[in-house]
Amino acid sequence: MDQLELGKPEERRKPEKRVNGIFWIILLNIGIYVADHLFQVRGIKSLYLYHNWPAWYQFVTATFCHANWNHLSSNLFFLYIFGKLVEEEEGNFALWLSYILTGVGANLVSWLILPRNAVSVGASGAVFGLFTISVLVKMSWDWRKILEVLILGQFVIEKVMEAAQASTALSGTFRGGNSLQSVNHIAHLSGALVGVVLVWLLSRVPSQPPNGEVSNSHRKKDRTL
């Protein structure tokens, strides 16, 4: 009886997925912030996205830079939540790919829309992209999944509405010429939209059955022949 009771938890226990990618992304954001604002390392400012004359790599590197500690801490909070959800569902590579693509997409839209004197930094676009992806990949008819979507959904609806209102008054956002301290709602909205497009594109890719299933199906056909 004791052996059966001890054996049941081990048999039912599922292998845990190792979630490491999100912590490396967080450490990279913190490391660049420390080098920039605490040690004031020369060259870090060149990683910012300067809209007047941007270098190609700045569309990527700007997603790891932040204007101040409040900017960084708020992004890290949501980055951990949504990034962990994406990595648990889709894996480490999908997390990094989603972070880079949504962050670059958000910076690209910001560069196209915002004034030339603007400077874009922050992981906000990638955070909103990861949020959208985490919601879409969890959508199913399971009541637990639906509850998660509803809880997370109220957050994105509020932010999208703020972004829509901000996009109608961009000139007021950049008053005083201090564009770096402004909230880039365009990046929030575009990052979320890039996440939707990314999930849609991946859903169009046909999934191939595992090798075991293919071989088994061939064996069944051989037996019938």
- The rounded mean pLDDT for the chain is 76
pLDDT for position 130: 92
- With a cut of 60, say whether residue 3 has pLDDT above it: no
Compute the 3-state secondary structure of the chain and give helix, strand, coil in percent, each to the nearest 5.
Answer: 75, 0, 25
- Tokens representing 91 are 């894996």
* Residue 109: domain span: 17-203
Euclidean distance between CA atoms 31 and 36, whole angstroms: 9
In a domain, 211, yes or no: no
Distances (CA, A) of 117 to 48, 96, 174, 212: 13, 30, 9, 57
Residues in Cβ contact with 56 at an 8 Å cutoff, skipping those fewer than 6 apart: none
Q: 60 and 110 in contact (C-beta within 8 Å)? A: no
Euclidean distance between CA atoms 84 and 62, whole angstroms: 21
In a domain, 2, yes or no: no
In a domain, 4, yes or no: no
In a domain, 1, yes or no: no
In a domain, 79, yes or no: yes
Euclidean distance between CA atoms 29 and 144, whole angstroms: 32
Q: What angle do CA 26, 105, 169 make, to 5 degrees?
A: 100
Q: For the chain, give the percent of residues with pLDDT over 90.
A: 35
In a domain, 35, yes or no: yes
**Other C-beta atoms lying within 10 Å of the C-beta of residue 63:** 31
Once rounded to an integer, what is the mean pLDDT over residues 53-60? 96
Once rounded to an integer, what is the mean pLDDT over residues 138-167? 61
pLDDT for position 45: 95
The CATH number of whichever domain residue 185 belongs to comes to: 1.20.1540.10
In a domain, 12, yes or no: no
The number of folded domains in the chain is: 1
pLDDT tens per residue across span 100-112? 999 999 999 999 9
- With a cut of 60, say whether residue 141 has pLDDT above it: no
Decide which of 193 and 2 is more confident. 193
Once rounded to an integer, what is the mean pLDDT over residues 137-141? 67
pLDDT for position 214: 46
Q: 192 and 156 in contact (C-beta within 8 Å)? A: yes
Euclidean distance between CA atoms 139 and 130, whole angstroms: 14
In a domain, 83, yes or no: yes
SS3 of 113-163: the string is HCCCCCEECCCHHHHHHHHHHHHHHCCCCCHHHHHHHHHHHHHHHHHHHHH
Give me Rg for the CA atoms of the chain: 22
pLDDT for position 95: 96
Decide which of 30 and 217 is more confident. 30
pLDDT for position 193: 83
Q: What amino acid positions are annotated as catalytic residues?
A: 124, 188
